[in-house]
Structure 1
Amino acid sequence: MFEAAAVLETLAALRGREVWIAGGWGIDALVGRVTRTHNDLDLLHRAEEEPAVIAALETLGYTERTEGVVPGRPARFVMAEPGGRELDLHPLHFRPDGSALQRLDDHGGAFTYPAAAFAAGVIEGVPVPCLSVAQQVTFHQGYQPRERDLHDMARLREAFGIATHF
């Protein structure tokens, strides 16, 4: 399980690096409170900062895990620590207009994040960088939602009065 204190510890270790919280912790950051348990922490980072990001995470005991990581690089990679916590890391290539690309494969496939996708939220009273409400809603479309997806979208509806497709 990935607790709020571990999220803040991870962000502190990454101070000076541009990262954004996504996934379930990103939802909780937007809502401003912990709404469910989390198995991991999804982080987006500037691709050019990846060596420094990895080095910082290694100081916390994380090492890259390749077994069972699908899809893997270049779209994402996983780092785990001996206690079982996992980070799901997503490298982003920023454009001059503030938008970013996440390479999905080595054949030109990519996902585009608009500049407005990068926002701020709060975890345990601490301001944190995260993905925007609109970007979170976009990520929760086009697939059969899991129970946690339904939970997350319900929390966004309650907090922001937005319409979601499920």
Structure 2
Amino acid sequence: MPSSTPFGACTTLSEVLSVLRLADLAGARLWIDGGWGVDALLGGQTREHGDLDVAIEARHLSSFLAALSSQGFVAVGEDGATSWNFLVRHRDGAVVDLHVIVLDTDGNGLLGPPEAGHAYPADSLTGRGELGDRTVDCITAEWAVKFRDAYTGDLGDRADVLALCRRFGLPVPCQYHG
């Protein structure tokens, strides 16, 4: 899947932990997704990341955006941005890719218009991992692999999938063999 993260962006562990503290202050629960989500599941950083992917409930979005804005984050305004998936960037370089969800009665995180059928299944939102000195909510290993099997990944995706499969005893998807 092509990334909309600005070329050359790099989001460090220190910046991730700062964003998580801002979420705490805003009362916003985040689920870490993407490369940082993989690193959380693996218990430490394995590579550089251009951005921090997070799922956040729509009901917490405005307070979280206000907290981010107070610390110098601004909307990127990238092509393809929607109200349920867009980027914010700090003047010093950190990028947060927001995936805005609404939890349905079954605990699925609906992403975008319901008729589009995009969602984080309830099971995917039960992961726990470690980033720095803190435990975080994240996408489960099984779903992190399934989500990456839906598109042709890059070298980072390949490394992520293989590491998750090794650590959690998951089958390696066909496109990642060889």
TM-score when normalising by structure 2: 0.85
Match of 1:140 in 2: 148
SS in 2 for 1:35: coil
Normalising by structure 1, we get a TM-score of 0.91
CA distance in 2, matches of 1:28, 1:98: 24
Structure 1: stretches of 5+ with no match in the other structure: none
> One-letter code of the match for 2:134?
V
Cα offset, 1:109, TM superposition: 1.2
C-alpha RMSD of matched pairs (Å): 1.5
Partner of 1:88: 97
Question: How far off its partner does 1:5 sit?
Answer: 1.3
Quick one: distance in 1 between partners of 2:164 and 2:137?
17
Query: Is the 1:69–1:77 contact (alpha carbons within 8 Å) kept by the matching residues of 2?
Result: no
Q: 1:51 aligns with which of 43, 53, 62?
A: 62
Give the unaligned 5+ runs of structure 2.
1-9
Counterpart amino acid of 2:117?
A
Please state how far the C-alpha of 1:115 moved relative to its aligned partner: 1.3
> C-alpha displacement at 1:69, in angstroms?
3.3
1:116-154 per-position Cα deviation (integer Å, ceiling 9, x unaligned): 111211012310111111210111113222111101111
Question: Structure 1 residue runs of 4+, over 6 Å off?
Answer: none
2:83 paired residue number: 74
Identity of aligned residues (%): 29
Give how far 1:112 is off: 2.0
SS at match of 1:5: helix
Q: Where is the helix percentage greater, Structure 1 or Structure 2?
A: 2
Q: Which of residues 14, 17, 21 in structure 2 aligns to 1:5?
A: 14
- Counterpart-to-counterpart distance in 2, 1:44 and 1:142: 18
CA distance in structure 1 between the partners assigned to 2:157 and 2:85 by the alignment: 20
2 CA distance for matches of 1:133 and 1:149? 13
* Matched residue, 1:99: 108
